[in-house]
């Protein structure tokens, strides 16, 4: 059969993947299996049995792009292929594919980790895997991901992750777990900027920044405060006021020479009024950005996108935490599949104004034209 342009692009995307199966037992080519899984994931499939049922129902659509001479594999074939497929090679395919989805980035890239709760396998002594992802907040694309090795933490995974995408010209935001001198230096060396959250893991630095900004921010006309921004929202009986206070007066800070590129410190103060009660929360940051409260507040808000547009969606829409895929490389490979899928959906969402990611998955499952449109945005 003559391949469609989409099929050629799709097959080319995964051409470097090594199929370790014995040739005489390959009834189902690797690209056919991957095509079922990615199409099925777009339409809401998540388990191996789901992919079998999806493939059987959509066989005519699938055969418009690939031959499927032997029909649809059984669930055990899907499980074996994804368990044996090299996760590093699959990740490399993903990163190369993402690079083709966007022009050179100039924005905020949020880095954060997420544990796949049901990916542990007690019988094999395998802990639940933890993935750290880089998320381009402005265009809502996952750029790369790195698995945290067992008996390790995000501090060791983040430096590897930073090597997988273009840092230059972007602002990297990381929560307190990644607030490390070596990570800040790496970002500066890669010609990026950073906004790093402070908490107890940087005890003396966090305390010094907190005391300085809390005291100076209440002094009328303090020359130590370089920039202030305030905004308010009201709704559902709640009033929220956010104030960002920034200073570049850092000569007093003993730790300043230890942090590459450090130019400013910031405090985000959130005041909530609801049913006659008022609560105040303050968070503190160090940054290589200039002392511009609006710019730093925007970067902090953009960091929340990794929770709202990535982790929340993976949990609530994709039911990631309920996935029982756990054998060998399969949990990591399926996490990458979900990132492939979410990127495709976000890319296509502009064509379906007012339709949520959940709604778009339904439309793709109900209509082949919607599914084809989503695929064509990506391949």
What is the CATH number for 293? 3.90.350.10
| Ranges of H-type helices in the chain | 5-13, 30-42, 48-57, 59-62, 75-84, 87-99, 154-162, 181-189, 203-216, 293-303, 305, 312-316, 330-348, 357-366, 368-376
Is the pLDDT at 340 greater than 70, yes or no? Answer: yes
Q: Do 54 and 146 fall into the same domain?
A: no
Question: Closest Cα to residue 87, out of 27, 165, 144?
Answer: 144
Is the pLDDT at 346 greater than 70, yes or no? Answer: yes
- Under the banding of pLDDT at 50, 70 and 90, the label for residue 103 is confident
Q: From 311, 331, 353, give the residue that closes a domain.
A: 311
Is the pLDDT at 321 greater than 80, yes or no? Answer: no
- Under the banding of pLDDT at 50, 70 and 90, the label for residue 122 is very low
Q: Do 361 and 250 fall into the same domain?
A: no
Is the pLDDT at 199 greater than 60, yes or no? Answer: yes
Lowest mean pLDDT among 111-120, 130-139, 183-192, 295-304: 111-120
Q: Do 210 and 278 fall into the same domain?
A: yes
Compute the average pLDDT of residues 26-47.
93
User: Which residue do the tokens 């968070």 mark?
Assistant: 283
Structure tokens at 259: 């942090």
Q: Do 303 and 358 fall into the same domain?
A: no
In a domain? residue 321: no
In a domain? residue 243: yes
pLDDT at 149: 74
pLDDT at 232: 83
In a domain? residue 98: no
Residue 25: give the domain boundaries.
Answer: 5-85+344-376
Percent of the chain having pLDDT more than 90? 60
pLDDT in tens, 220-248: 888 899 999 998 887 777 888 899 999 99
Q: Do 306 and 352 fall into the same domain?
A: no
Around Cβ 271, how many Cβ atoms within 10 Å?
Answer: 16
Total of domains in the chain: 2
Q: Do 145 and 186 fall into the same domain?
A: yes
In a domain? residue 120: yes
In a domain? residue 92: no
Q: Do 158 and 278 fall into the same domain?
A: yes
As beta bridge partners, residue 198 has 284
Q: From 311, 333, 361, give the residue that closes a domain.
A: 311
pTM over 0.95: no
Is the pLDDT at 150 greater than 70, yes or no? Answer: no
Structure tokens at 289: 């950005």
Compute the average pLDDT of residues 157-181.
93
In a domain? residue 99: no
Compute the average pLDDT of residues 185-208.
91
Compute the average pLDDT of residues 179-190.
96
Q: Do 149 and 80 fall into the same domain?
A: no
Backbone angles phi, psi at 366, to 5 degrees: -85, -30
- Under the banding of pLDDT at 50, 70 and 90, the label for residue 299 is very high
Q: Do 368 and 272 fall into the same domain?
A: no
Q: Do 183 and 287 fall into the same domain?
A: yes
As beta bridge partners, residue 242 has 231, 270
Is the pLDDT at 124 greater than 70, yes or no? Answer: no
In a domain? residue 325: no
Q: Residue 276, class by beta-carbon neighbours within 10 Å (0-12 exposed, 13-18 middle, 19+ buried)?
A: exposed
- Under the banding of pLDDT at 50, 70 and 90, the label for residue 57 is very high
Mean pLDDT of the chain: 88
Q: Do 125 and 80 fall into the same domain?
A: no
Compute the average pLDDT of residues 195-206.
86
| Dihedral angle of Cα 171, 173, 177, 181, to the nearest 10 degrees | 20
Compute the average pLDDT of residues 160-180.
93
In a domain? residue 323: no
Strands in 170-215 per DSSP E: 171-174, 193-198
Is the pLDDT at 165 greater than 90, yes or no? Answer: yes
Higher pLDDT, 206 or 118: 206
Q: Do 156 and 122 fall into the same domain?
A: yes
Q: From 311, 326, 355, give the residue that closes a domain.
A: 311
């Amino acid at each position: 059969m003559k391949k469609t342009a989409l099929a050629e692009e799709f097959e080319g995307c995964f051409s470097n993947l090594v199929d370790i199966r014995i040739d005489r037992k390959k009834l189902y080519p690797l690209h056919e299996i991957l095509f079922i899984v990615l199409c099925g994931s777009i339409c809401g499939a998540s388990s191996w049995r789901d992919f079998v049922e999806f493939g059987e129902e959509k066989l005519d659509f699938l055969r418009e792009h690939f031959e499927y001479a032997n029909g649809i594999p059984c669930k055990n074939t899907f499980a074996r292929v994804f368990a044996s497929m090299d996760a590093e090679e699959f990740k490399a395919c993903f990163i190369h594919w993402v690079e083709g989805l966007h022009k050179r980035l100039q924005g905020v890239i949020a880095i954060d980790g997420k544990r796949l709760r049901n990916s542990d396998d007690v019988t094999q002594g395998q802990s639940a895997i933890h993935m750290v992802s880089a998320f381009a907040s402005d265009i809502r694309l996952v750029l790369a991901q790195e698995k945290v090795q067992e008996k390790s933490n995000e501090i060791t995974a983040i430096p590897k992750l930073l090597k997988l995408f273009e840092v230059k010209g972007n602002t990297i935001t990381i929560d307190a777990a990644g607030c490390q001198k070596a990570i800040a230096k790496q970002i500066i060396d890669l010609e990026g900027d950073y906004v790093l959250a402070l908490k107890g893991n940087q005890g003396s630095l966090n305390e010094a920044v907190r005391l300085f900004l809390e005291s100076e921010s209440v002094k009328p006309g303090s020359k130590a405060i370089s920039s202030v921004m305030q905004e308010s929202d009201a709704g559902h009986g709640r009033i929220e006021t956010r104030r960002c206070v920034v200073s570049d007066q850092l000569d007093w800070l003993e730790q300043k020479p230890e942090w590459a590129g450090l130019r400013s410190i910031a405090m985000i103060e959130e005041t909530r009024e609801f049913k006659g009660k008022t609560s105040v929360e303050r968070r503190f940051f160090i940054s290589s950005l200039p002392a511009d409260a609006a710019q730093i507040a925007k970067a902090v808000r953009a960091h929340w996108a990794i929770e709202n547009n990535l982790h929340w969606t993976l949990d609530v829409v994709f039911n990631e935490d309920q996935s029982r895929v756990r054998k060998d490389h399969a949990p990591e490979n399926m996490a990458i599949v979900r990132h492939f899928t979410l990127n495709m959906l976000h890319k296509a969402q502009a064509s379906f104004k007012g339709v949520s990611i959940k709604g778009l998955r339904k439309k793709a499952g109900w209509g082949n034209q919607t599914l084809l449109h989503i695929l064509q945005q990506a391949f």
